[in-house]
Structure 1
Amino acid sequence: MTMTTKTSKDAAKFSEKLPSCVLCHAIRDIRAKKKAKRFKRLWPSFSYQNFRVEKELSKDGGAVWKASFPTLEKRIGVPIVVQSYQEKYLEMLLSGQAKQGSAKLVRHGRDWYILLSLTISVEEKQGKKIMGVDLGLIDLLVASVNGQTLFFSGKGLAYTRRHYAELRHRLQKAGAYRALVRLGDKEHRWVTDVNHKISKALIDFAIAHGVTKIRLEDLTGARWTNPQRKEQRKDHGRSLHYWPYYQLRKFIEYKAALAGIQVELVNPDLTTLTCSRCGEVRRSRPKGRWFKCPRCKKIKHIDVNAADNVAQAVSGLAA
């Protein structure tokens, strides 16, 4: 069930191969992307009116999930594999706590996947407990709230990035371009999986400590996250300079929204130079991994100190 077409006018020739509801949805998708000159492949989409998720009880007392949608000949119900975390939201859909949006069937390799959008109402948590999150190159992420901290070291991640970089170099030298594409896809999946795990652990940590708001550094345009900077070009992805911090931020934002936790972005300008206890500002970044305040003599891990400053928004909220 794929469509190759240039414009919505060409879709008419598929009218004998696709159900009318799928064809109409395809035409809307094509018209919505006015700048696209050609669609190499357009996966079938369904509205909430003609796509349903159903749950049936099996003979052994277990549950069997099915997706029901129309085809040209008849409506069919197909068994689907549902992960435990997905089952929670599907149960909300069946009970009326979630509203179904559009659905799309997508094939990857030999497997078919359902992309189903849901709208869920979440109550925002009440209170004033704020957690600060510092992002960096040595420790990828450090969170701090009321003296409790969560660390994600970047050491192992940087090692893996260097490993992939060395493989790319060897494959480029050998001219193995197909292997290069497969390697790039593998590295992308690994990075995305790591960001999902980190963001999930962060939100679980926030929930466990009663956090109502998370403050993150706004790293837009930062030297070590901007791929256009000349200083980065020598790195070739061998460290965390090229880590997708924006993707990590987006994962944190949507997982926090599902938990009813607010997310704010703050300016990172003075977070590593300011003492989170007395507010003294140093002239230069401290050497090593510890911040020692010249005024109050307080000693704290440099990233924890920065995370506490992020929570206080010492440089103000991002515009």
Structure 2
Amino acid sequence: MEQVVTLKLKLYEPTQAKREMYQLMADRCTDFANRYLSLDKKERPRTSGEAKKYSEPLPSAVLNQAIRDIKAKPKAKRFKHLWPAFSNQNFRVEREVTRDGGAVWKASFPTLEKRVGVPIVVQPYQEKYLEMLLSGRAKQGSARLVRRGKDWYVHLSLTVPVEEKRGGKVMGVDLGMIDLLVASVSGQTLFFSGDELVYVRRHYAQLRKKLQKAGAYRALKRLGDKEHRWVTDVNHKVSRMLVDFAIIHGVTKIRLEDLTGARWAHPQRREQRKDHGRSLQYWPYYQLRQFIEYKAVLAGIRVELVNPDLTTLTCSRCGEVIRTRPKGRWFRCPRCRRVKHVDVNAADNIAQAVSGLAA
């Protein structure tokens, strides 16, 4: 089994001249992308040689990769940013051993002037993937030069082998609008309450309303970017804690509800604009699911999607199906008289796939 991972490697203190050069490359790459889209499809360049007449000077490697990136987004009408990218033939990562036995990591890629080698900041968890790349156990994909604030990063794509675990336990995960997530495996549960998240979202909604009335559109955009980063960070942390919980309890399979088409689960629904932060109704659950899948696969844990039809209406102990969703936070079975937290009951049903696996 294989999984694609993206390493975000920070360039170590580039000079002002290099920062300006990277920005110029990024601007030229974006300008070329938008010129490309303005051309008739028959006139669009297919090679870097043909592309040069529509672009300010850029390395051929960057132009070729830009054409591939543009074609990969056939519905794009305009690019706000198309960051310079390099194929696996034009980008290299190297490790140099220092005199004291340590290691310095460097990345090399073509620029406007020449091919440069620059030091990069490598976090401990990233080293194992780079070691796999150098030893030939991981396959290198494209690398992209990206600016975040005042810092420059290389986003390096790698395909790494993953050994899938066999046997073991199955964990069910229920996603909800009161508790963000409830996981259950063999009587052990993990809760992520949504109370604090709702409070923060309501705070953002109130600030957004004030800025809209004041016509402070730049501040409004900055607020939106800040909220997006906060939400993404929460989803990363929750998914990490969930997968760690699964590893600790010997889980080899995680089952999630298939919420495809659910009005409240889709990250790009128009109704999101009408939500004022009163609940988790428009939390980006799809992104959360992607993060869970991504981290689980790297841990050798399989993720399966389950039909959600009867998960909240079925007793996870005896299989009795009730007609309406339980009121409050407890599921009371009319047959076996068992009382259980409604989301834990749903998570156990998801683990059992009581409504079958999603197609």
Normalised by the length of structure 1, the TM-score is 0.92
- SS of the residue corresponding to residue 214 of structure 1 reads strand
Question: In structure 1, what is the equivalent of residue 176 of structure 2?
Answer: 136
- Tell me the residue number matched to 2:189: 149
Deviation, 1:104, is 1.1
**Cα separation, 2, equivalents of 1:211 and 1:35:** 40
Provide the rounded CA distance (Å) in 1 between the counterparts of 2:275 and 2:81.
36
> Partner residue of 2:166?
126
1:33 Cα deviation after fit: 4.5
Could you tell which deviates more after superposition, 267-276 or 153-162? 267-276
1:279 to 315, 319, 323: 319
Give the 3 Å change call, closer, same or farther, for CA 19–266 of structure 1 in structure 2: same
Deviation of 1:42 after TM superposition, in Å, equals 3.0
Cα distance change, pair 41–172 in 1 and its aligned pair in 2 (3 A): closer
RMSD: 2.2
Matched residue type, 1:283: R
Q: What is the SS of the residue equivalent to 1:224? A: coil
Distance 2:216 2:270 in 1: 29
What is the aligned residue count?
318
**Shift in Å, 1:159:** 0.5
Q: Matches of residues 226-241 of structure 1 in structure 2 within 5 Å?
A: 235-241=275-281
The aligned residue for residue 79 of structure 1 is 119
Q: What is the DSSP-based 3-state SS (H/G/I as helix, E as strand, rest coil) of the residue aligned with 1:212?
A: strand
Pair 1:47-2:87 in alignment: yes
Q: Which moved more, 1:83-92 or 1:299-308?
A: 83-92
Please tell me whether the aligned partners of residues 184 and 344 of structure 2 are also in contact (alpha carbons under 8 angstroms).
Answer: yes
Q: 1:177 aligns with which of 213, 217, 232?
A: 217
For 2:205, the equivalent position in structure 1 comes to 165
Q: Which amino acid letter does the alignment assign opposite residue 303 of structure 1?
A: D
Note the residue ranges of structure 2 that are not aligned, 5 or more in a row: 1-24, 37-43
User: 1:72 offset after TM fit, Å?
Assistant: 4.4
- Select the residue among 261, 264, 273 that pairs with 1:221: 261
User: CA separation in 1, counterparts of 2:128 and 2:197?
Assistant: 31
Instruction: Report sequence identity in percent.
Output: 78
Structure 1 residues not aligned, in runs of 5+: none
Q: Does 1:260 align with 2:305?
A: no
SS in structure 2 at match of 1:281:
coil
Are the equivalent residues in 1 in contact too, given 2:168–2:250 (CA < 8 A)? Answer: no
Pick aligned residue for 2:51 from 11, 14, 17: 11
Residue 212 of structure 1 is matched in structure 2 by 252
SS of the equivalent of 1:238 reads coil
Summarize the Cα distance change of 1:61–1:236 in structure 2 as closer, same or farther, 3 Å threshold.
same
TM-score of the pair, normalised by structure 2:
0.82
Asked whether the 8 Å contact 1:223–1:229 carries over to 2, the reply is no
Q: CA–CA distance in 1 between the matches of 2:270 and 2:141? A: 41
Q: What residue number does 2:289 align with? A: 249
1:113 to 153, 159, 162: 153
Deviation at 1:57, TM superposition (A): 3.0
Q: Deviations over 1:9-44 (max 9, x none)?
A: 473147883333223323333455455455554322
Secondary structure at the counterpart of residue 310 of structure 1: helix
Confirm or deny: 8 A CA contact 2:199 2:277 kept in the other structure: no
CA distance in 1 between counterparts of 2:95 and 2:107 reads: 9
Cα distance change, pair 107–57 in 1 and its aligned pair in 2 (3 A)? same
Q: Please identify, of 78-87 and 149-158, the stretch whose mean Cα deviation from structure 2 is larger.
A: 78-87
Q: 1:167 to 1:15 in 2, by over 3 A?
A: closer
Quote the Cα distance in structure 2 between the aligned partners of 1:161 and 1:213.
32
Contact 2:263–2:269 at 8 Å: present in 1 too?
no
